[in-house]
Amino acid sequence: MRALILGGDGYLGWATAMAFAARGHDVLAVDNALRRRLCEEIGVRPLFPMPPLTKRADIFFAHSGKRVAVCEGDLRDAAFVDALFRDFEPEAAIHYAEQPSAPYSVMGPKEARLTLDNNLGVTHNVILSVLARAPRCHIIKLGTMGEYGTPNIDIEEGWIEIEHKGRKDSFLFPRQAGSLYHTTKVMDTDLLWFYVRAYSLRVTDLMQGPVYGISTDESDLDERLSPCFNYDDVFGTVVNRFLTQAAAGEPLTVYGKGGQTRGYLNIRDTINCVELAMQNPVAPGELRILNQFTETFSVNDLARIVRKAGRAMGLSVKVESIENPRRELEEHHYNPAHSGLLELGLKPHFLTQSVAEGMLEKILGRREAIDRSAFKPRVKWSRETFLKR
């Protein structure tokens, strides 16, 4: 298929671009290096080397003989987006092109404005260009399980049946996001749902949990093809952070009580979920929501898995509870449904001890490059922090 990958330089976007090209899809990866610039601004860097996107595409071609076409540009520019859809005529638009960090979104007014303008502006430009230039294109947007928050009822897969005063209807499951980033994802869903109803767009919204992992079949060809592996407190996810802390000989920093529970998945499963959605498109006028995760863990569960894997490899791994910088429930009910992708054929990779050990081994190979100062939380979900000028 002709797959336009928006945000093709990111942690998930680059891995998806390579995998789709290797599997025979016609791929165009688009990015403006926003994540790289934001990392530089706050003084963090990925653990593994990351040549520029065009260079990475050349390295991948040299190893695989498969081509990832690359286009550099700002998706907030409506004319640029319009030209992309006009010239490439995608059958599927994979939308990863958003500022992806909850902590970054609440660092202050500037970061909040960037998150709001970038995430909603890009989504709306994509919608308008699909309507004008590629009306049969299937939009596959990466949402987040964080849209739902942690309600005291089971989380359904996108929709919920409501009975009120003797009448029934189906509505989007109530959203209660815990950061501005997650709130922009809620707004994305509402934007898409409006245009689906009004103009018969075809949309799959993937409510994804936090992703972990370093390795894909394609990135294993050359270390320079590794995903954008952040382990810091702003852009790094908790599993990747814990593994890097273990490799560095630093304690695993559990925020608060550690009972915060979420749905997680391996980066390989992200790729496969997106491809399954692409190969099984929805009809015009349909918004399909799929909860994209494979298993649930509390933060304490993850610390135990990483500690056990580290000790099996001869590392002295300690766990330390620190003050939680976030505003979130630390003990809560969490039981989300996630049958849709399994029904489409997903064969999950699970976070076993051997998987954790394999990631640790790769990280240990870069141990000297680890910046230990990047682990300490620098962002507090506080009014004073957010309103600083």
Q: Quick check: 361 pLDDT over 80?
A: yes
Q: Tell me the catalytic residues.
A: 144, 181, 185
Distance of alpha carbon 146 from alpha carbon 136, whole angstroms: 29
- Quick: pLDDT tens for 279-331: 999 999 999 999 999 999 999 999 999 999 999 999 999 999 999 999 999 99
- For residue 383, give the amino acid letter: R
pLDDT per residue as tens digits for the range 206-250: 999 999 999 999 999 999 999 999 999 999 999 999 999 999 999
For the chain, domains (ranges, CATH) are 2-386 (3.40.50.720)
Residue 385's pLDDT band, with cuts at 50, 70 and 90, is: confident
What are the φ/ψ torsions at residue 303 (nearest 5 degrees)? Answer: -60, -40
265: Cα within 13 Å, side-chain hemisphere: 24
pLDDT over 70 for what percent of the chain? Answer: 99
- The pLDDT assigned to 150 comes to 98
- Separation in Å, CA 144 to CA 181, 185, 253, 314: 10, 7, 24, 36
How much is the pTM? 0.97
Q: What is the mean pLDDT of residues 47-71?
A: 98
In tens, the pLDDT along 66-95 reads 999 999 999 999 999 999 999 999 999 999
